[in-house]
Amino acid sequence: MSVKTLRLRARLPFEDHTIEFNEGISLNGITALFGPSGSGKSTLLRIIAGFEKRGNIRLTYDNAIWTDTNARIFCPPHERPVGMVFQDDRLFSHLSVAGNLAFADKRSPKVNHPITMDQVVKSLDLLNLLNKFPATLSGGEKQRVALGRTLLTQPELLLLDEPLSALDIRRKAELLPFLEKIPREFGVPAIFVSHAIDEVARLADEVILLSPDGHVSAHGPVPAIFDTQEMHEFTGKFEAGTFLQATVIAQDTGFKITTLDFEGEVMRMPMVASLNIGDRIRLRIRARDVAVATSRPEGISIRNAIAAVISEIKAEEETAFAEILFKVGAQTLRARITRQAVDELGLKVGQDAFALIKSVSFDRRVMISALG
Amino acid sequence: MVDLSPIWLTIQLAGTTTFFLLLLGTPLAWWLANTKSKFRPVIEALTALPIVLPPTVIGFYFLVLLSPNSTIGRFWVDITGETLTFSFTGLVIASMFYSLPFMVQPLQTAFQAIGRAPMEAAASLRASPINAFFTVVVPMAKRGFLTAIVLSFTHTVGEFGVVLMVGGNIPGKTKVISIAIYEHVETLRYAEAHQLAGGLMLFSFIVLLAVYTLNRRDAVHVG
């Protein structure tokens, strides 16, 4: 299926400022609309769904005009081939889970290879819920039903409006794997609204970063955007980090360790059972989880010591810290250590050193699209 | 033997009134629950008027409005050959206004409680607005509908002033239970008055008891 483009130009008053948006979004994989509350990200999603038509809007999908406030064109929400999953699940309380799914199934358009009820039930693990009513489900279960119901409308585009934000940490962890696999498994691109950096890092291929005053401050692939100044300003130095790509070379089921090849260096992380040997994966490593040594350390619990060349040292004069950038093959690693440590170790640009990684967090398999 | 025709007439009047009120009151209540129009308070006040006005005031204005001397009354006579005043049709029209708040207010409250969210969810599942209204809003508002229908029906059963002014006391045409009771009392036939009055009281109590019991039992929808 060819990649379609959604083009949205919107200018509308929002709270105490004006939302200004003018972007083309290639619908391929998951695109995150990421920004602080008040940046209008949910409003943009509602414009795409057709629930918002205030202000000056022109929205096109492929060659179809969905909203054009100047030309007074408006395609009603139920005629747009999009499916929205809301922050609150919005299940119909008078229908059982099966009834909620059937509601969508009955009204779905005829397509060549429809997403079937069986597929949805299996993929989202809904079999045991079918006869229950929404009032008796947990938050995570409700969102799974909502997601399944939306898939049955045979959407060409999924809109996910902070589907995790109403859940506690445990429920969130339960739902994340589903959100992660669904758009790919069913071949439906998604636009995902979030204000949580870890969700964006884990789920999204592309990210559109919105500023607090409602402007777009960056738009591009997740690894590239997460490394920009705009992103660091938004998330703060504490969360700053880098994305790395590595290949799975071994799975140790005894110690529960996954071993990776990272630019010829060996890296280990707690085992992710779903990975296969040979998988290319994306890792996110926060700068504060990386320490620096001038020689390969021994007698230390940290398993990941990567030989690397220091490519840049950025001292933050107003704080205690400095940022060290390492070059490892074609990739960059970032460490955040004290300026005093830089001084006492005598670190210099161009010097060979070791980056000690305390914690590796697995983001997900790298998709072809993300490799670009 | 009691004359049953006032009872039958009352049921017909209340049933017809409730039926047409449901058709008129549902869209009106939906509009009131969702509109941002500045006319909303005006329409809300007009709708609530019958609660505060003495029925005789309503009856008086309807008598004037529907009489053959008025445009509406004249028009009706021209097309049907009958007058609206002192007729069953006239009674239905006046009763609809008299019971309007009892239909609109419970529905408006129910629609407001449901909000726009389920309609948006339904639209996102490809349901047209009309379809979404009947398949999502109506079932979710069923207690509101039940309350509105029962209150409109029983309130119409209990009307007196409006009927007397607009309809008079024509057996089989406008002589409903309340009028019949009044007539029995005027003519000192207390036994007949008791039968109708007691029957009406018992009926009203049973209906209200049924509504409150149903509403209570249906409070939580658990499969």
A98, A153: one domain: yes
Pick the CATH number of B5-217 from 1.10.3720.10, 3.20.20.70, 3.20.20.10, 3.50.30.60: 1.10.3720.10
A186, A268: one domain: no
Per-residue pLDDT at B28 exceeds 90: yes
What is the pLDDT confidence band of residue A198, given thresholds at 50, 70 and 90? confident
Q: Which of A235, A253, A271 is the last residue of a domain?
A: A235
Per-residue pLDDT at B214 exceeds 90: no
Of A55-69, A168-182, B145-159, the least confident? A168-182
A271, A329: one domain: yes
Q: Which of A219, A235, A251 is the last residue of a domain?
A: A235
Partner-chain contact B126 A107, CB within 8 Å: yes
Calpha distance A227→A283 (Å, rounded)? 13
**Section B126-154 average pLDDT:** 94
pLDDT tens, position by position, A279-302: 888 888 888 889 999 998 888 888
More confidently predicted of A229 and A301 = A301
How many separate domains does chain A show?
2
A26, A136: one domain: yes
Q: Which residues touch A92 (CB under 8 Å, ≥6 apart)?
A: A99, A100, A103, A134, B118, B121, B122, B136, B139, B140
Return the CATH number at A104. 3.40.50.300
Cβ-based contacts of A49 with chain B (< 8 Å): 120, 124
Give A 22-61 residues with CB within 8 A of chain B. Answer: 49-51
Please answer whether residues A104 and A90 qualify as being in contact, where contact means their C-beta atoms are separated by less than 8 angstroms: no
User: Chain-wide mean pLDDT for chain B?
Assistant: 90
Q: Give the residue among A240, A238, A234, A203 at the shortest CA–CA distance from A216.
A: A234
More confidently predicted of A178 and B19 = B19
A41, A96: one domain: yes
A248, A362: one domain: yes
- In this predicted structure, what is the pLDDT of residue A239? 64
Q: Give the residue among A205, A278, A287, A274 at the shortest CA–CA distance from A241.
A: A287
Share of chain A above pLDDT 90, in %: 45
A276, A364: one domain: yes
Calpha distance A303→B152 (Å, rounded)? 77
CB pairs under 8 A between A and B: 78
Q: B223 vs chain A: nearest CA distance in angstroms?
A: 6
Q: Residue A291, Cβ neighbours under 10 Å: how many? A: 19
Tokens 């071949």, residue?
A187
Q: Which among B124, B221, B223 is the nearest to A83, CB-wise?
A: B124
A231, A282: one domain: no
A212, A273: one domain: no
- In this predicted structure, what is the pLDDT of residue A371? 31
Cβ-based contacts of B139 with chain A (< 8 Å): 92, 94
A201, A311: one domain: no
**Section A129-143 average pLDDT:** 94
A44, A92: one domain: yes
Element (H, E) at B51: helix B40-52
Calpha distance A293→B212 (Å, rounded)? 76
Cβ-based contacts of B123 with chain A (< 8 Å): 50-51, 76-78
Q: Which of A177, A205, A235 is the last residue of a domain?
A: A235
Per-residue pLDDT at B38 exceeds 90: yes
ipTM confidence: 0.81
Return the CATH number at A344. 2.40.50.100
A191–chain B Cβ distance below 8 A for any pair: no
Partner-chain contact B118 A103, CB within 8 Å: no
What is the pLDDT confidence band of residue B222, given thresholds at 50, 70 and 90? very low
User: Chain-wide mean pLDDT for chain A?
Assistant: 87
Calpha distance B171→B9 (Å, rounded)? 9
**Section A2-11 average pLDDT:** 92
Q: Give the residue among A40, A44, A41, A36 at the shortest CA–CA distance from A233.
A: A36
**Section A231-255 average pLDDT:** 79
What is the pLDDT confidence band of residue B99, given thresholds at 50, 70 and 90? very high
Per-residue pLDDT at A1 exceeds 60: no
Per-residue pLDDT at A69 exceeds 90: yes
- In this predicted structure, what is the pLDDT of residue A35? 87
- In this predicted structure, what is the pLDDT of residue A242? 79
Per-residue pLDDT at B219 exceeds 70: no
Per-residue pLDDT at A367 exceeds 50: no
Tokens 């599942």, residue?
B125
Of A92-106, A234-248, A318-332, B122-136, the least confident? A234-248
Domain region containing A265: 242-371
- In this predicted structure, what is the pLDDT of residue A299? 86
Share of chain A above pLDDT 70, in %: 95
A96, A214: one domain: yes
